[in-house]
Structure 1
Amino acid sequence: MIILEPRNILPEHQAGFRPKKSTLNNIIRLTEYAKHQVYGTDRRRHAAVILFDIKAAFDSVWHDGLIYKLNELRFPQYIMNYLMSFLQNRVAVIEIENNVSKPFNLKSGTPQGSPLSPLLYIIYTADSMNGISDHTEHGLFADDTALWTSSNTTTSLNNRLQQSVDAFESWCKSWKLKLQPTKTELIHFTVHPRRSFKNPINIKIQDTIVTPSDSTRYLGIIIDKRLNWRSHIHHIESKIAGRISLLRFLNKTAYESNDKIMLNIFKSIARTMIIYGYPILLTPNDKIWERLQIIQNKAIRAALGLPIYTSVDYIHRITNIPKIKEYAVTLLQRYIQTAICNN
């Protein structure tokens, strides 16, 4: 990164495995774009996002292609020697029911588990968005690739998005990466989400037609076509139930339950899940935060072994833990300050 960042080699919107960037960068960009296009303009537009699935992305990095790109970037020779040694002369075998194949050389893929592998992947794909039209935005987080755009009509929107998808698909073919259309997701944002359109959004990838879904997962957030976050809150409620049960179990089975330790565990395994994606949830709709607050109340009671009827004010007074929306606002203030300092 010491070599890459000052030279602006990596795309601005590649947020994976980079200092001062996170999943939040692209989550915020996408959701703010969609809200502005659909609800924030005088003439409400259509917007759509397509989320690609790249088959075995890290395992498909073409060694010769990566080395070519590294040479083009004029890395120092000692780094090139190290990277070539890291990639080349790797062998593998296949075992099926105790039958082992002969060793064979690997001509693609970066070693799993190595901290260098994600960095090599984002270098390999650094130019993947160069052919995308100016009317289309993109967000990258390692191999998570998203394209989004907008237009006044569904026909124009479809054409714009298809043009950009074709450009990305062409790039993938050139560099031996394969898209999986059946695992690719499409969301159509519109002010009339229940309406059937004469020319609906349909994107073709290879020989498969991708049609819009009501909701999908993007970088840990459930995004729905209405942008009301109900699906995401429901997802949190479902996923966190097991963690609340774990907190209750730990409190009951500990030889000497320590409130400080239990609250730290709560913060680590429960609050992090509740608060994830907080910038996009800070909307005028307080019902979102009422539901999140209920989840936090349950988790704290479980961590401390308190009865379910224990008052919310009492819980927060004895723990000195802020209510979840207050905590989110504090995090947002820090996030903004950090962004200002970084710029």
Structure 2
Amino acid sequence: MLEAAKEICKENGELTEAQVLLLDFAKAYDSLDRDFVMAILNAKGFPPKWCNIIRATHTNTTVQFLANGHLSDKVVVTSGIRQGCPLAPLLFIIAVDLLYDVIEGMEELEGIQLEGSLTKQPLKVAGYADDTAIYVAHRNMQKKVIEAVHQFSAIAGLKLNVQTSAAIDIGCNRREETEEGDDEQLEDAGQTPMRDEVDTTVIEPTDTVRYLGHIAGSGDSAAGAWEKAFAALRVRLVLAEAKTNSVQQRAAIAAAIIIPKMLYVARHAWPTEEIVKKADLCIRHYV
């Protein structure tokens, strides 16, 4: 989605100030309000038996800490969804879907228009588990989006971590010019730009950030993503090279580690012909 939106913005002269906001909720699974989850399940029409099962698995839950071989007393847990539970990601997605509905319904928010040969679809929000990406056609729309997210967070028991969230310019990046112009206006008015103040309604732009295990950025991040992927593989294979001798063993490691890693990166950063050749040589030389 991100790469497609970047290509569209490059071709559309009206999207020079477009951004994607990559949101980070602090301790998302641990802080989600359980009553809110149950209300969402009921509102979406899940069967009462199913809702009762979910409620039962999230009632009177406790945890214990293991310290120096001794278990602590039980500590009652009253919020959040159960860590490690296969249902946890699905429950979070169902709960945060309300935020997506709110974003999609904001008339003042203009997303990125995805156009195919037959259909057009506006892209405003996309999510995977607890990672949420919101697309805005202009950076000035960011404040409205953050306000909506804060309102949802207050109801759902979540907290948006503005400092660890990221904004990526996917149009023509004029961030430096904008910031310099704003500072000059403040100085002309006799005010000093406050760079150290934390504004909870603004997410600062960044050049690159790791998102869903992939390097995302305003420019062409494919080369950087593959460089990091090859470096990570080299580190993982150091120990394997010392312990594996046969071709069959190395082929098994390549099938279990090298190829899945490359396929995952390729889903987000389409490899060039040169990168494909390099990957092929890496596999051949290792085996």
| TM-score normalised over the length of structure 1 | 0.66
Structure 2: give runs of 5+ residues left out of the alignment: 112-123, 184-194
Greater shift in the superposed pair: 134-143 or 39-48: 39-48
Tell me, in whole angstroms, the C-alpha distance in 2 between the residues paired with 1:194 and 1:126: 31
Q: CA deviation at 1:228?
A: 4.4
Greater shift in the superposed pair: 228-237 or 178-187: 228-237
Which of 8, 11, 32 is residue 61 of structure 1 equivalent to?
Answer: 32
Which of 79, 87, 93 is residue 116 of structure 1 equivalent to?
Answer: 87
Which of 100, 104, 107 is residue 129 of structure 1 equivalent to?
Answer: 100
Note the alpha carbon deviations across 1:158-211, whole angstroms, 9 max, x for none.
2212211221121111211011122111211343578533359x9x98637532
- Relative contact order, higher structure (CA 8 A, sep 6+): 2
Tell me, in whole angstroms, the C-alpha distance in 2 between the residues paired with 1:247 and 1:233: 21
The one-letter amino acid of 2:284's match is I
What residue in structure 2 maps to residue 162 of structure 1? 143
Tell me, in whole angstroms, the C-alpha distance in 2 between the residues paired with 1:190 and 1:274: 28
Tell me, in whole angstroms, the C-alpha distance in 2 between the residues paired with 1:42 and 1:178: 35
Work out whether residues 51 and 146 of structure 1, in 8 Å CA contact, stay in contact via their aligned partners in 2: yes
- SS in structure 1 opposite 2:206? coil
Work out whether residues 138 and 148 of structure 1, in 8 Å CA contact, stay in contact via their aligned partners in 2: yes
Tell me, in whole angstroms, the C-alpha distance in 2 between the residues paired with 1:279 and 1:98: 44
Work out whether residues 49 and 186 of structure 1, in 8 Å CA contact, stay in contact via their aligned partners in 2: yes
Tell me, in whole angstroms, the C-alpha distance in 1 between the residues paired with 2:36 and 2:8: 39
What residue in structure 2 maps to residue 248 of structure 1? 241
- Aligned-residue RMSD, C-alpha: 3.0
The one-letter amino acid of 2:29's match is F
User: Alpha carbons of 1:296 and 1:240: their partners in 2 closer, same or farther (altered >3 Å)?
Assistant: farther
Alignment length (residue pairs): 257
Tell me, in whole angstroms, the C-alpha distance in 2 between the residues paired with 1:113 and 1:107: 17
What residue in structure 2 maps to residue 141 of structure 1? 128
Work out whether residues 233 and 292 of structure 1, in 8 Å CA contact, stay in contact via their aligned partners in 2: no
1:76 aligns with 2:51: no
Instruction: Trace 1:254-265 onto structure 2 (pairs within 5 A).
Output: 257=246, 259-265=247-253
- Percent identity, aligned pairs only, is 21
Tell me, in whole angstroms, the C-alpha distance in 2 between the residues paired with 1:45 and 1:173: 33
Which of 227, 235, 238 is residue 234 of structure 1 equivalent to?
Answer: 227
| TM-score normalised over the length of structure 2 | 0.77
Structure 1: give runs of 5+ residues left out of the alignment: 1-28, 151-156, 305-343
1:173 aligns with 2:148: no
What residue in structure 2 maps to residue 186 of structure 1? 167
Note the alpha carbon deviations across 1:58-85, whole angstroms, 9 max, x for none.
1112111212222223332322221121
- SS in structure 2 opposite 1:181? coil
Note the alpha carbon deviations across 1:109-137, whole angstroms, 9 max, x for none.
11221112222211221211222235131
Work out whether residues 225 and 269 of structure 2, in 8 Å CA contact, stay in contact via their aligned partners in 1: no
User: Alpha carbons of 1:279 and 1:98: their partners in 2 closer, same or farther (altered >3 Å)?
Assistant: closer
